[in-house]
Structure 1
Amino acid sequence: MAPLFLDPGLFSRRVALDEPVIVPDGAGGGETGWQEVRNLSVRIEPLSVEARERFDQREALVTHRVLLRKTVSVERGMSFRIGGRRLVILSVHDPDESGRYLVCRCEEER
Structure 2
Amino acid sequence: MATSASGPEVDDLWDEFHRVVNMTSKELGDWLNTRSAGEETETLPDEAGTPTGRQVLSVLGKRKTDLQDDDLRVMQKVVDRVHAERRDDLEPTQGQASWRHRLMSIGHDPLKPV
Common fold: TM-score over 0.5:
no
Higher strand share: 1
* Higher RCO (CA < 8 A, seq sep 6+): 2
Q: Look at both structures and tell me which one has the larger radius of gyration over its CA atoms.
A: 1
**TM-score after normalising by structure 1:** 0.25
